[in-house]
Structure 1
């Protein structure tokens, strides 16, 4: 398939705020995008997968001052932590954007200029409550009282009263167009519970949005008025079009990838992506993204994760303790994507041992060991397929369509469960067909049974390349599947294992995890 003929898929993470070290939440969001990007590439798409860091704003300026270094030096250091995380987690992003880059400053200022020319921004004065931690403005009615009578944002962040000159975006004007847009595009916000929240918020009334600040200087200067810098969220959201070459709308990447197929975000920043961002784009007469998915948060052994509790989960610690593929698998398997989830070490060990080691790892090891021992270490020749063979092989071949549909709605847990239905069926088929007994009574039938099992493992491994790429690659190596035949173009009979193909000596892919205290 020539590149020009390929369908396009553009998936983005939020750009991560650089005043903190990467944690499980960052790893989770980007992992979901990585799985989608890998799947779409295998499925014949031309993919652009973007992540990066959000480096402007009052919070960053304060953090840099606290360390006694310049904001640029601070952001250079902390942004690198997120690049390092991408490498450590095996992410396949095509670009990494920083909002301190020149390409991004140009894009932000061009968007601002367009909004000015279209009379979507005007100069006024802001009086109201602002949360530095959230980089967000809040109305009086949204605030709650803290334990000492202080005002807090709905997120629990402290707020401060701000009075300063400010440019405003005419957000109120876009209330009805946004509601019409949500109605015409029912899949724009997911899951449904989040969609309902956003619609309720917009129906409650939108006020014009303050989009500049004058009380600090770390940000993109407002064109023609250097006393103001752009509100950090107007700056941050623009990253998605910066990476496509905006403001050059004739750029190849802009033509190919914008509008984005999917913005993946945490539920805490949904309002910015599902209300402000489409409003900015509509006001600039630019296409809106196709979908915004807001996932849930993790707790740790039942407790809210916070630095003050000292229970922040480091993705590096998980990878070092359990393995990269095991960590990737658990994060997308444990919780229905979109819901909040609880991390526990016991749950992680259970998933690793019962599903990866016992169900899939043991299946592949048993089958390949029997082939190695009884079929001269080569793919056996299949005979006529029976009803029992097809009862396993047909669902295995149907998996691609099932998984594709699940991932298109970001239902990673459903995708993995559908794969495990086939894995469990394959284990039951081994026990029922008993190829070790057939070796003595019907050697040809034994060959057919083992071939059916190998084909089932091949289909599972092709799909699992998206979630556990290293381990799935090892399984495909052991099936002697050539590196250039691991895309979905070779799904089903098109890539079926050929009788007589020599196989390497099998080795275990998913070892059981044993706690060190138990003598591992």
Structure 2
């Protein structure tokens, strides 16, 4: 395409005036941008020297009109950022700014760091507002090392339409697909998607570990116990791993590290399966000893339901229903429900169909 030189009149935002203030803000708020590698990228950009930015256009007529100069429209990234505040009523008498700002989080892609981590906090400072409390950067979803794109197919790349989310959810389910995407890659890094990868996660983590745990416990309880009388033991050997999993998951979610939260949860699932292997309740006769083991196992599953509910809400609800528990795992008050010993069944548990039928590679 032939290069065309153009001139137009623009309004500018004096970004250069905020260089020192931005660096000072980053120094005082080390957790403003995460992960740290992306924070360093933003800081380096500021340190390289900021130039004033053009925030209006006169060569186009679509866009938000500049109130004080009708011949201008705002540059799209300038008015887009302001939406974070106007959405909560900024500029209106009945605004909700005090309720939502600045204690909010932005979740953004790594390619728009400059706008959100340099322009936007400077714009807030210029308006006399505290910048948003936290910006979490996420990476790209890659296939074969390439970013999914609508246009890359022309160059032999992978198109977004080559991998159908509908087909994946039909094959694996919505919750398992979400689990794979969240568990496989630390938030902030690029993630590599493959059909082999999701199949392995599904069969290992979900079918073998979680699904097998729920199936073996509900089968034994339904056949040999009265679930409504079972009460977890305060001195169970599962108390310590349960507390560790809850503590680690809580910290990880607060740090925007969902893959670590799930890792802690699956470690607890593994500990519970190992507990059952040692106790071998399938060999035990009905009675107090069996009831004690199964009460502990049911309590472990109850806690697992709550821990997985942010990523697999439908699965958590289904397990909760089979255990015949009151309320909902996703609506459970954290401090009250994430404590060992709260399992109480309203009626007999339900075995149900397998939660995660195994998938053979290539099917």
Rounded Cα–Cα distance in structure 2 between residues aligned with 1:492 and 1:330:
24
Per-residue deviation, residues 80-139 of structure 1 (Å, max 9, x unmatched):
xxxxxxxxxxxxxxxxxxxxxxxxxxxxxxxxxxxxxxxxxxxxxxxxxxxxxxxxxxxx
User: What are the within-5 Å matches in structure 2 for residues 41-190 of structure 1?
Assistant: 162-190=6-34
Of 463, 470, 475, the match for 2:319: 475
Conserved 8 A contact 2:199-2:361: no
1:427 aligns with 2:273: yes
How far off its partner does 1:250 sit?
5.4
Q: Residues 302 and 160 from structure 1, CA distance in 2 versus in 1: closer, same or farther, beyond 3 angstroms?
A: farther
Per-residue deviation, residues 335-358 of structure 1 (Å, max 9, x unmatched):
111111110001001111110111
2:173 is aligned to: 323
1:396 is aligned to: 242
User: What are the within-5 Å matches in structure 2 for residues 383-462 of structure 1?
Assistant: 389-390=236-237, 392-439=238-285, 443-462=287-306
Q: Which runs of 5+ in 1 are unaligned?
A: 1-149, 152-158
1:381 aligns with 2:227: no
SS at match of 1:226: coil
How far off its partner does 1:483 sit?
1.9
SS at match of 1:221: coil
SS at match of 1:164: coil
1:281 is aligned to: 124
Per-residue deviation, residues 52-92 of structure 1 (Å, max 9, x unmatched):
xxxxxxxxxxxxxxxxxxxxxxxxxxxxxxxxxxxxxxxxx
Rounded Cα–Cα distance in structure 2 between residues aligned with 1:509 and 1:160:
64
How far off its partner does 1:495 sit?
6.7
1:507 is aligned to: 352
1:354 is aligned to: 204
How far off its partner does 1:516 sit?
8.5
SS at match of 1:225: coil
Q: Residues 374 and 404 from structure 1, CA distance in 2 versus in 1: closer, same or farther, beyond 3 angstroms?
A: same
Rounded Cα–Cα distance in structure 2 between residues aligned with 1:265 and 1:228:
28
Rounded Cα–Cα distance in structure 2 between residues aligned with 1:463 and 1:247:
40
1:300 is aligned to: 143
Q: Which runs of 5+ in 2 are unaligned?
A: none
1:291 aligns with 2:134: yes
Q: Residues 284 and 382 from structure 1, CA distance in 2 versus in 1: closer, same or farther, beyond 3 angstroms?
A: closer
How far off its partner does 1:233 sit?
0.7
How far off its partner does 1:215 sit?
1.3
How far off its partner does 1:160 sit?
7.3
Rounded Cα–Cα distance in structure 1 between residues aligned with 2:318 and 2:11:
56
1:262 aligns with 2:111: no
1:217 aligns with 2:50: no
Per-residue deviation, residues 448-478 of structure 1 (Å, max 9, x unmatched):
1110010000001012111100110011111
Conserved 8 A contact 1:190-1:294: yes
Per-residue deviation, residues 137-179 of structure 1 (Å, max 9, x unmatched):
xxxxxxxxxxxxx99xxxxxxx976531100000000011101
Q: Residues 162 and 416 from structure 1, CA distance in 2 versus in 1: closer, same or farther, beyond 3 angstroms?
A: farther
TM-score (norm 1): 0.64
SS at match of 1:483: coil
SS at match of 1:470: helix
1:113 is aligned to: none
Conserved 8 A contact 1:298-1:342: yes
Rounded Cα–Cα distance in structure 2 between residues aligned with 1:244 and 1:504:
45
Q: Residues 328 and 384 from structure 1, CA distance in 2 versus in 1: closer, same or farther, beyond 3 angstroms?
A: closer
2:92 is aligned to: 248
Per-residue deviation, residues 285-308 of structure 1 (Å, max 9, x unmatched):
012100111111111133332332
Rounded Cα–Cα distance in structure 1 between residues aligned with 2:343 and 2:141:
41
Per-residue deviation, residues 310-354 of structure 1 (Å, max 9, x unmatched):
431443332233210011101100111111111000100111111
Conserved 8 A contact 1:335-1:341: yes
Conserved 8 A contact 2:232-2:341: no
Q: Residues 448 and 483 from structure 1, CA distance in 2 versus in 1: closer, same or farther, beyond 3 angstroms?
A: same
Q: Residues 489 and 482 from structure 1, CA distance in 2 versus in 1: closer, same or farther, beyond 3 angstroms?
A: farther
Rounded Cα–Cα distance in structure 2 between residues aligned with 1:249 and 1:409:
34
Q: Residues 215 and 316 from structure 1, CA distance in 2 versus in 1: closer, same or farther, beyond 3 angstroms?
A: farther
SS at match of 1:299: strand
How far off its partner does 1:514 sit?
2.3
Rounded Cα–Cα distance in structure 1 between residues aligned with 2:29 and 2:317:
38
1:272 aligns with 2:115: yes
Aligned length: 354
Q: Residues 430 and 512 from structure 1, CA distance in 2 versus in 1: closer, same or farther, beyond 3 angstroms?
A: same
How far off its partner does 1:486 sit?
2.9
